[in-house]
Amino acid sequence: MNLKQLEYFVRVAEVGSFSKAAVLLDIAQPALSRQVRLLETDLRAVLLQRTGRGVVLTEAGKRLFEHAVGILQLVAQAREDLEAGRDEPTGRVVIGLPPSMGRLLTLPLVQGFERRLPKARLAIVEGLSAHITEWIATGRVDVGLVLNPQTQEAIEVQPVFEEALCLVSPAQAGQHRQGAQDGQGGQGGQQAQEVEEVEFAGLGAYPLVIPERTHAIRRVIENQAALSRIKLQVAWEVSGVQSMLDLVRSGHGHAVLTRAAVLAGGRPEAFTVRELTRPRLYSRLFLATSATKPSTPLIRHAVDLLMELARNRGHEVDHINS
């Protein structure tokens, strides 16, 4: 067994394909397959099972994968520490972002690395907050942004900013004419006035387009619904923000999202956005790192840059909501 074989094995396992891994590693596929076979021979275990769509880890492969990721990270940290003592940080850092943050921060992150850490390599992965915290705990991701994380001993979190949750409806819903309120018709059909708030107690009256149960916002909504003894109408379970907005715009239900998420999705004029009140609910963003993995100069620089960009985003959100 050698480090190169472990690196090849990990990359094949991550992408689920020898051909894709060969391209990423810039190595011929037969040579890559041969090195993985040598590793299997040395360990006397089958690590990867071929399928019609690529390869999957066997039980032995899953156990080795966890060890291999940790070993490769320790070696990378040793190199980074030595390089940092001579010059600016080098090495590879993996940052995890929720899809909503990925659309907003990927370009600024890449630009920040090019400007501040030109000798470092950046990898960005997107996933639900629950997945990102799991990846950080297992060492696959170094630092990430997560929404409303559950307490975990293996994860340390720092608050970044919070956004109020709103009921998002098609533009024609949730509006009323002022004349209908005060009994006056106005000037032959007055402009529709937007109702700016909705009490949480009334949320059960709306068919919801809502993420699946592992999603952070779903947990916030369901926890409060249980406390308020409200039965939610779940019409559709969809985790992608853009897909949720498409369904709402098409009249298939209502969503619970932040105002900034609606603006980022484009065409905000197609929606009525009303803040949930009594109680107000918030989507809270945290920066997450490993509580057990030693930090390196590169990771510390990455944390500083990510926190700076995320907080700038938070200031923009405050401006939007004000």
Express each pLDDT in 83-134 by its tens digit.
655 556 778 999 999 887 887 899 999 999 999 989 899 999 998 888 899 9
**In this structure, is the dihedral angle defined by the CA atoms of residues 152, 155, 161 and 167, taken in order, positive or negative?**
negative
Q: Give dist(CA 284, CA 263) in Å, integer.
A: 18
Question: What residue numbers bound the domain in which 205 lies?
Answer: 98-177+192-322
Predicted confidence (pLDDT) at residue 220 exceeds the cutoff of 70: yes
As for how many domains the chain has, the answer is: 2
Question: What's the pLDDT at 85?
Answer: 57
- Report the share of the chain in percent with pLDDT over 70: 88
In a domain, 225, yes or no: yes
Between 194 and 29, the more confident residue is 29
Cis peptide upstream of residue 279 (ω within 30 degrees of 0): yes
Strands 271-277 and 155-170: antiparallel
Are residue 74 and residue 118 in the same domain, yes or no?
A: no
pLDDT averaged over every residue in the chain: 84
Are residue 278 and residue 315 in the same domain, yes or no?
A: yes
Residue that terminates a domain, selected from 60, 87, 114: 87
Predicted confidence (pLDDT) at residue 256 exceeds the cutoff of 90: yes
Are residue 147 and residue 290 in the same domain, yes or no?
A: yes
* CB of 164 closer than 8 Å to CB of 258: yes
Instruction: Give pTM, 2 decimals.
Output: 0.62
Residue that terminates a domain, selected from 31, 64, 87: 87
Are residue 123 and residue 173 in the same domain, yes or no?
A: yes
Question: What's the pLDDT at 42?
Answer: 92
Q: Give dist(CA 18, CA 24) in Å, integer.
A: 10
Are residue 40 and residue 114 in the same domain, yes or no?
A: no
Span 147-158, pLDDT tens digits: 888 888 889 999
Annotate 180-218 with b (16+ C-beta within 10 A) or e (fewer). Answer: eeeeeeeeeeeeeeeeeebebeebeebebbbbeeebbbb
Span 170-205, pLDDT tens digits: 987 544 333 333 333 443 333 333 458 899 999 999
Q: Tokens 């894709």 sit at which residue?
A: 20
Confidence of residue 317 (pLDDT cuts 50, 70, 90): low
Q: Tokens 């390089």 sit at which residue?
A: 83
Question: What's the pLDDT at 28?
Answer: 93
In a domain, 63, yes or no: yes
Are residue 168 and residue 21 in the same domain, yes or no?
A: no
Q: Give dist(CA 211, CA 258) in Å, integer.
A: 14
Are residue 155 and residue 208 in the same domain, yes or no?
A: yes
Which amino acid is residue 102, in one-letter code? G
Q: Give dist(CA 90, CA 118) in Å, integer.
A: 8
* CATH code for the domain of 59: 1.10.10.10
In a domain, 93, yes or no: no
Question: What's the pLDDT at 189?
Answer: 37
Span 259-270, pLDDT tens digits: 878 887 778 888
Span 66-86, pLDDT tens digits: 999 989 888 887 877 776 555
- Partners of 255 in the beta sheet? 168
Which SS3 state, helix, strand or coil, does residue 162 take?
A: strand
Are residue 156 and residue 239 in the same domain, yes or no?
A: yes
Are residue 39 and residue 132 in the same domain, yes or no?
A: no
Are residue 145 and residue 168 in the same domain, yes or no?
A: yes
Residue 117 tokens read as 């850490």
User: CA gyration radius for the chain?
Assistant: 24
* CATH code for the domain of 221: 3.40.190.290
Kindly report the backbone phi and psi dihedral angles of residue 4, in degrees, each rounded to the nearest multiple of 5, phi listed first.
-65, -40
In a domain, 232, yes or no: yes
Residue that terminates a domain, selected from 87, 117, 149: 87
* CB of 216 closer than 8 Å to CB of 132: no
Are residue 10 and residue 138 in the same domain, yes or no?
A: no
Start-to-end CA span in the chain (Å): 59
* CB of 35 closer than 8 Å to CB of 43: no
Are residue 230 and residue 251 in the same domain, yes or no?
A: yes
Closest C-alpha among 275, 280, 300, 274 to residue 289: 300
Q: What are the respective helix, strand and coil percentages of the chain, to the nearest 5?
A: 50, 25, 25
